Structure 1
Amino acid sequence: MHEDGPPIVIGVGASAGGVEALLALSESLDADLPAAVLVVLHQPAEAPTVLPRLMDNRCALPVRHAEHGDALVPGTVLLAPPDHHLLVVGGRLEVTRGPRENGHRPAIDPLFRSLAVEAGPAAVGCVLSGLLDDGAAGLLALVRHGGTAVVQEPDEALYSSMPRAALAQVPGAIVRPVAELGPTFGELAARPVIGGRRPSPGLVREVAASRAGAIVDDQDRVPGPAAGLVCPDCSGPLFDLSEGNLLRFRCRVGHAWSEQSLSSVQDTGIERALFTALQALEDKADLQHRIARAATERGSDRTAGRAREAAHQALQSAGLVRDLLADRKPGDSA
C-alpha cells in the first residue's frame, strides 16, 4: 500500500514484438514493487499462451492470468487471458468478452481507460512494442485524469508504431529502454499520489461500452455524431469520438476503431475485394474463350468473335486489377 495514498496500478500494453519486451520487463521488476501490474498483449483468440509461465520464470513477482473478480494486489503481475479484455471496475478486475477495439480482444485502450476512471493519479500506463496505434487513445485519457504515461524507447522496440503513436498523443511521456522500466515503475510507485479529477461522463460510458453485458446509460444509445463510415466488425454505422488530432470511432454496439486501425482493416478489405474482382474477371475470360471455341466448332463465327472480344476485355480489366495489387505498398494491408 502506498503510504501517501492509494496503491499504484500499472497497466502495460504490447502487440507485435511484445513477447520479447514483456520477458525483458519481467527481468527488470523488483520483488518489492508496491504496485499491481496488469498486462495486455494482442494475441489470437484460439491460441493457448505460455506467456505467464515464461514471464513467471524470469520475474521476481508472481505472474499468472487474471481471473474475473481478482483483487488488485500490489506485487503481482496479471495478464489478460486470450479473447478477453482486462478492466478494473469497482476496485476489482473484470475479465470480459466485450466488443473488440481496434480489431483486438484483449485491447489496450479499454484497460487504460478503466485505470483512468478507477485509479486516476495512481494509474501508470505503459506502451511497448507493437504495430499501429492501440493504446494511444487510452494513454491520453489516463494522463488527462492525472495518471502517468511511460513508453518504451521506440528505436529499441522491435516494432515502433505503437510507441510512436503513444508519443504523438502524449509527447511528455517518460521514455525508457525496456530494461529500465522496472526501476522506473519503482520510482513512480514511491511518489506521493496527488490530485486527480472526477472521471468525465464520456470516459465512464466508454469503459461501460467495453464490458460484456453492461448497460450504457445513454438515452440515445449513440456515442457521438454520425461519421458516415461503416464498422468493419458488424457493418453498423460508426460515430465520431474524435478530439483534436485524435481520430476515433465507435459503433452503436461498442466496437471501437482508431485512425490507423480502421485504415488498416479497410486496406485489407480493399485488397480482398480486388482479389475477388480479379478472380471474377479471369473466370469470365476463361468462360468466353470456351464459348468462342464451341461457337467456332459449330461454324458460328459471329458468336465466336463476340466471345473472343469479351474475353479480351475481361483480361484487360484483370490486368488493371493486377497492376493495382502490384502497386500496393507492403504497409497498405495488415
Structure 2
Amino acid sequence: MLSVPTHLIVIGTSAGGMPALTRLVAQLPATLPAAVLVVQHLAPDSTGEPLVARLAAHTALRCQLAAHLMPLEAGCLYLAPPDRHLLVKDNHLLVTKGPRENSYRPAADALFRSAAITFDSHVVGVVLTGMLHDGTAGLDFVQRCGGITVVQDPAEAEFPSMPASALRGVAIDYVATLAAMGPLLLGLVSSTQPLGQPNPLAIPADLRLEAAIAERVVGTTEQIDELGHQVPLSCPDCGGSLWELDKGHVLRYRCHTGHAYTAEALAERSQRGLEESLWVALRMMEERKNLLSSLAAHGEGRWSEQQTTRVEEIKRHINRLREFLLSSAEENPMAAD
C-alpha cells in the first residue's frame, strides 16, 4: 500500500549540484514522511538514470527518475528528467515539456510553484549550489502558500549564485550548511499534522492560474492579463510580448506562450542576446572593411582615395565595438559563458 507523504521537500540546484545532493540525501532516512522532488539542471540530450543511481548509492531513500502520472510516496526521491518540467498534481507527478522558465527546463520555479499550490504549508523549498537565478521566485511561491524556505549557505556553496539570488529576493526562513541541512529538513517534516486538502483561500489566485497554465503547457493573452500588465519588452525565447506580473515579492515577467523570467534572469538573457547581435555586427563590419579595401586596391584616383577613407573610418568603428564587447565580457563573465 502506498504511503502518502505528509510533506514535499522540493530542491533546486544547478552547477555543483550532484556532490551537494549526495551529501544532503545521505542524511535522510528511509522512514522520511515526505517525498523529495529534485530539479538538477541537465543538458537536454543527457540521461538522468546515472544520476539516480549515484543518488541511490548514497541514501536510504528510494530514488527514481520521475515519470508522468507516477504516484507520490513518502520516503521516495524523484529526479526531474532532462528537458522536462516536473510538476505535482494531487498525489501524483506530471512530467511535461512546457515552455522554459528562466531559460531552464526543468525549472525549479515551475516545480516549486506546483508543489506549493498542491501541498500549501506542507512544502519545504530548498535551493542549493548553482549559477544564476532559478529557484528564487520558486521560494517566494512556497512562502506565499505558507511553506518553509531553506537555502544552502552561499559561503560553502561551490557556486553561490543561486542561493545568493534567493537571499536577495526572498526573506528566507533558514540558511544552513549541508552538514546541518539533513537534520533541519527531518525536523521540519516530522510534524504529525495530517495533510488535508489545500485551502483555496490560502493559495494566491495568481499562483493557481500560473500553475494551471504550466499544466496545460500554453496560456492565453486573457489569462496573462489577469496576472499583470503588458510592457514594451519582448520575450527572448519566442519574440512575443511580455507582461510584468503584479503579485509576489520577486519582480517577474511572462509571455502568453508560457516563458517566464525573474527580472534578473531576463536582464541576463537580454545581455546575452545583445552581445550576440553585436558580435554579428562586428563580423559584418569586418567583411565590409575587407570589401572596401579590395575596392580601393583595384581602383584609381579620387575614387580609390574615397574607399581608403571609408576603410579608415570603419576601422575606428570596429575598434570601438571590439573594445566594448571585450570590456563587457570582463564585467559579466557568466553572461560571456
TM-score, reference length from structure 2: 0.91
Please list every run of 5 or more consecutive structure 2 residues that lacks an aligned counterpart in the other structure: none
Q: Residue 28 of structure 1 contacts residue 180 of structure 1 at CA under 8 Å; is this kept in 2?
A: no
Is it true that 1:274 corresponds to 2:281 in the alignment?
no
Q: Give the alignment partner of residue 233 of structure 1, picking from 220, 237, 248.
A: 237
1:244 & 1:110 partners in 2: Cα distance? 15
Determine the structure 2 residue equivalent to 1:42: 41
Q: Secondary structure at the match of 1:36?
A: strand
Is it true that 1:90 corresponds to 2:94 in the alignment?
no
Say which is worse superposed, 57-66 or 100-109, in terms of deviation: 57-66
Deviation at 1:257, TM superposition (A): 0.6
TM-score, reference length from structure 1: 0.92
2:260 & 2:120 partners in 1: Cα distance? 22
Is it true that 1:144 corresponds to 2:148 in the alignment?
no
2:229 & 2:158 partners in 1: Cα distance? 37
Say which is worse superposed, 132-141 or 167-176, in terms of deviation: 167-176
Identity %: 36
Determine the structure 1 residue equivalent to 2:187: 187
Q: Residue 101 of structure 1 contacts residue 257 of structure 1 at CA under 8 Å; is this kept in 2?
A: yes
Q: Secondary structure at the match of 1:94?
A: strand
Q: Secondary structure at the match of 1:234?
A: coil
2:240 & 2:112 partners in 1: Cα distance? 26
Deviation string, structure 1 residues 79-124 (Cα, Å, up to 9, x no partner): 0000110010122100001110000000001111111110011111
Cα 1:259/1:149, change in 2 over 3 Å:
same
Determine the structure 2 residue equivalent to 1:289: 293
Deviation at 1:35, TM superposition (A): 0.9
Say which is worse superposed, 316-325 or 204-213, in terms of deviation: 204-213
Say which is worse superposed, 314-323 or 183-192, in terms of deviation: 183-192
Paired residues, number: 327
**Equivalence map 1:127-138=2 (5 Å):** 127-138=127-138
Determine the structure 1 residue equivalent to 2:214: 210
Q: Secondary structure at the match of 1:293?
A: helix
Give 2:24's aligned amino acid.
L
Say which is worse superposed, 45-54 or 280-289, in terms of deviation: 45-54
Provide the alpha-carbon RMSD of the alignment: 2.2
Please list every run of 5 or more consecutive structure 1 residues that lacks an aligned counterpart in the other structure: none
Determine the structure 1 residue equivalent to 2:23: 24
Q: Residue 84 of structure 1 contacts residue 106 of structure 1 at CA under 8 Å; is this kept in 2?
A: yes
Deviation string, structure 1 residues 282-312 (Cα, Å, up to 9, x no partner): 11111111111111xxxx2111101111111
1:17 & 1:70 partners in 2: Cα distance? 28
2:219 & 2:275 partners in 1: Cα distance? 37
Q: Residue 56 of structure 2 contacts residue 63 of structure 2 at CA under 8 Å; is this kept in 1?
A: yes
Cα 1:174/1:270, change in 2 over 3 Å:
same
Deviation string, structure 1 residues 159-217 (Cα, Å, up to 9, x no partner): 1121122223332421111132222221111124499653122101111222254666x
Q: Secondary structure at the match of 2:158?
A: coil
Q: Residue 25 of structure 1 contacts residue 182 of structure 1 at CA under 8 Å; is this kept in 2?
A: yes
Determine the structure 2 residue equivalent to 1:201: 205
